[in-house]
Chain A
Amino acid sequence: MFRFVARRLLYSLAGLAGVVVITFVLSHVIPGDPAVLAAGGTRARPEAVEAVRKQMGLDKPILVQFVRYVSGLAQGDLGRSVRTRQPVNKDLARYMPATMELAVVSIVIVALVGVPLGVLAAVRRDGLLDQVLRVLSIAAVSLPVFWFALLAQVLFYRHLQWLPVGNRLPLFAQVPPKLTGLYLIDSAMAGQWLTFKNALLHLILPALILAMGSLAMVLRMVRGSILDVMRLDYVRTARAKGLAERVVIFKHVVRNALIPVVTMLGLQFGGLLSGAVLIEVVFNWPGVGLYAVQSVVELDYQPILGVTIIIGVIYVVINLLVDILYAKLDARIRFQ
């Protein structure tokens, strides 16, 4: 297994290096001057733009900028944002935990709700529940997520007044002492249960809306996977032996049917991380999605690269963990 992991890491590093080079080149050939945007846009005076350009090292030749960036990268330095003037590391440390927390809670919802509903839909195939879930799943992947988000705000915040409109905590609330940046964990570790409750309240709506599309896909996949496995000989044999249907489903079918779902959940998590931007805008969630989009719009090279690298690393780690888990779940699979 060690050789497998080492080889995968090596291939992944090579892939990431390629992504860094391509992203660096692309962000420099796209029309636009980040110094202009950082200096105040089209109203900025030329001398102010030059001052920003010099201060941020953008006056150096591209090759020099690239070499500087790569040597900084080797020391864990992701450079500095032209727009925020902050080190990208600092910006990511500030914004990534919010997106991570949102994505983690969303994937938990996807797993805890999508998997059981998928099982139910398969077991009660073509029944009323299955039909309803089919329609809801199609709606969840077809309808725009920002529309759901706005609707949810109007319903749960404005009319029912059950949940907050957005943000991570109530205004003026003290944030918990920083350990991970994930408020649920940090507040629990500090024993600040009111903050924990507030953080959870604020998370529910954006996490649910973010989870919707993935939940629908996982639900349909679980359903399909269970139906596939139920057709296999060994399941027929188990039934023929007189085992209770419940035992057949939960002991023999589900475990094997969930193997491909594990892979999907891993990839979905990566997708949730990078796709959270619309949710972040509507719910005013201070996450990395919005940071990344604004960096792209304003051609802020180093945050673009920084976010690309971090998301890339996360995808690599998730894929690796999923592969290892896959082998653990399925005895037929051996590391090659």
Chain B
Amino acid sequence: MLSLVLVSAIFVTACSSSSQEQEPQQQPDQNQTQTQPNKDPKSRQLVMLIPSENSTLDPATNYGIGAQAILPWVYETLVQYTAEGKIAPQLATNWSVSGDGKVYSFQIRKGVKFHDGEPLNAQAVKTSLERFMAIGEAASYIYKDVVEKIDTPDDFTITFTLKKPVGYFLLSIASPWAGGIVSPKAIKENEKKGDLAREWFMGNTDGTGPYKVTEYVPKEHSILERNPAWWGWAEAKNPNPLEKIMVKTVTEASTQRLMLEQGEADMAFGIKVQDAPDLQKNAELKVIPVSTTTARILAFNNARKPTSDVKVRQALSYAFPYDDAVASYGGGSKRMVGQLPQGMIGFDSSLPVYTTNLDKAKQLLSDAGYGSGGLKLELVWVTGEEDGRKVAELWQANLKKLGVVLNIKEVAINAFSEMLDDPEKMPEIVAHMWGPDYPDFTGIVSILYDGRQQKPNGNNMSFYQNKQVDALLDKISVEVEEAKRVEAMKQVQTLLLQDAPSLWVAYNPVLVAHRKNVQGHVQHPLFEYKVDFTAVHK
């Protein structure tokens, strides 16, 4: 009995004291346009929830999606890809390209300092990028594959001589995974046994960005504090810049929603898209359904029967329930047209798309010799992708009408990645997602459909091979004239539609929601977790 009383007492005390712990934050008038600095100290703090963890802070090795939320504000690159979809100066103020497209020359911004006080110069940029390439992980291929040498003709000029012309070089080096510039002093002081200070950079930061990480708990949260010495504050014109930002990993969507609704969090990036209608009724929240550039693709096994037959692939493409699938994904999900997202150079809305047409599918199956049935296929997707499973079941129902048996199987991620390496092991159809590292055709189509990049030597996971496509991809890679690139891109997309090596469904929707008092946020078109903290205020 005494123990019951004790436990109850603890509970009652906790509950009665909870008002202190749960003291509501004083929020500024949400309708008031912020022209004057907000004097409430809590208005200078922001909590952003993401569903992904950051297992390292090192820009040379972090290849996770969570990197978008933190690294761009701590480590800067020479150029940046803005929310308006433009390449803009960052650590480089201007640049030029040689006539043959092989030499890029950048002028480094003067007066910039690392968080440790050391000045930024061309040599510092070179040292940092050489470290990135030497480690060789994450998206280091952006430099490693194309750069022949890096020179620093003077303190504030850096030149990249490329192995061959690269039409997308500027776009690629603006990626959040393109190796933000780290302090050479930090590398030197913290290097252990030739590790290039990898151990240190996992949990510490030293860049030039507007924020620095002052607290990092792996898998839990990072706290960023403002760097008042950042070169860009005057240009940012933020009346009330954030002093402290917590980027917190919360994997459970319902927990994110509760925290946002109660005001414990200011921005949430992991709430289920299906919750959008409910959230929109909340007057304190702004809800932004976003169609990301992460594509949901069904890759066919082009190296093995029956899906090595183009007629079978085309038939399957006509049997797919596109409208139902897009409706099922919900949110801002958009149907794919071609293989590029809208807004990216090369996107062409006039390209034909496959539509659900069971008659056409039937005809094609008959032409392929499966008119009286007998076609059995296996579709594999990764555990946890419930949206994928629902859509697969819709497709299964359509195929059943055509006498095609589609077995749906889910596998864990570790087994999934292994089965992609061998065309004999890979099932007929594999559901996967693909998001580009940088906003160019070569970051999507070339990687996925270059016949010389078949798994395990690359990321062509459909084992597709078309020499005409390969030749066009080579042309797109080296061509610097945009009009010629775009023309070649159109040809490739048309060929791919005819060959149907994959089935392109829709872009993955993400629900972005924030408290209405969070102002200045413009959703990035490419990197959904990249919030411009220099512009956001409360």
Contacts and interface: CB of A to CB of B under 8 A. Distances in A.
Given A157-B258, A158-B261, A112 B14 contact: no
A52 B218 CA distance: 19
Nearest to B384: A297
Interface in A20-53: 30-34, 36-37, 39-48, 51-52
Closest 10 CB pairs of A and B: A32-B414, A40-B63, A112-B3, A51-B136, A31-B415, A299-B414, A162-B15, A36-B417, A84-B55, A31-B418
Nearest to B15: A162
Interface of A: 30-34, 36-37, 39-48, 51-52, 55, 83-86, 91, 94, 109, 111-113, 115-117, 150, 153-154, 157-158, 161-166, 170-172, 197-198, 200-201, 204, 281-284, 286, 290-291, 297-299
Nearest to A165: B258
A41 B416 CA distance: 10
A164 B45 CA distance: 19
Contacts of B140: 48
Interface string B112-155: 00000000000000000000000111101100100000000000
A42 B262 contact: no
Contacts of A84: 55-56, 218-219
B136 A48 contact: yes
Contacts of A282: 252, 254-255
A177 B432 CA distance: 45
A197 B45 contact: no
B18 interface: yes
Contact of A284 (B251, B413, B415): B251
- Say whether chain A's binding surface is mostly helix, strand, loop, or mixed: helix
A5 B527 CA distance: 59
15 contacts: A32-B414, A39-B137, A48-B136, A83-B55, A85-B55, A113-B4, A117-B4, A157-B258, A161-B262, A163-B15, A171-B248, A172-B244, A201-B18, A284-B251, A291-B219
Contacts of A31: 414-415, 418-419
Between A84, A283, A290, the greatest number of chain B beta carbons within 10 A of the residue's beta carbon is seen for A84
Given A86-B202, A171-B248, 16 more contacts: A31-B414, A36-B418, A46-B456, A84-B55, A85-B61, A94-B218, A111-B3, A158-B262, A162-B14, A163-B14, A163-B15, A171-B246, A171-B264, A198-B21, A201-B18, A299-B414
Contacts of A170: 21
Contacts of A40: 63-64, 138
B252 A109 contact: no
Contacts of B219: 84, 286, 290-291
A286 B217 contact: yes
Interface stretch (B87-95, B310-318, B457-465, B507-515): B457-465
A115 B18 CA distance: 29
B22 A164 contact: yes
A41 B417 contact: yes
A215 to B, nearest CB: 11
B258 A158 contact: yes
Nearest to A202: B21
B234 interface: no
Contacts of B264: 165, 171
Contacts of A116: 1, 3-4
Contacts of A94: 217-218
A204 B18 CA distance: 12
A197 B21 contact: yes
B259 interface: yes
A316 B45 CA distance: 47
A10 to B, nearest CB: 36
Contact of B414 (A34, A44, A284): A34
B11 interface: yes
Given A48-B137, A162-B15, A284-B252, A153 B258 contact: yes
A42 B461 contact: yes
B47 interface: yes
B414 A33 contact: yes
A299 B258 CA distance: 32
A40 B14 CA distance: 43
A115 B434 CA distance: 54
A299 to B, nearest CB: 4
A200 B10 contact: yes
A283 B252 CA distance: 8
B416 to A, nearest CB: 8
A91 B56 CA distance: 13
Contacts of A52: 137
B417 A48 contact: no
A33 B418 contact: yes
B5 to A, nearest CB: 10
Nearest to B42: A172
B20 to A, nearest CB: 8
B283 interface: no
Contacts of A171: 47, 246, 248, 264-265
B526 interface: no
A281 B262 contact: no
A55 B255 CA distance: 36
B7 A113 contact: yes
A302 to B, nearest CB: 14
Nearest to A98: B220
B400 to A, nearest CB: 29
A89 to B, nearest CB: 14
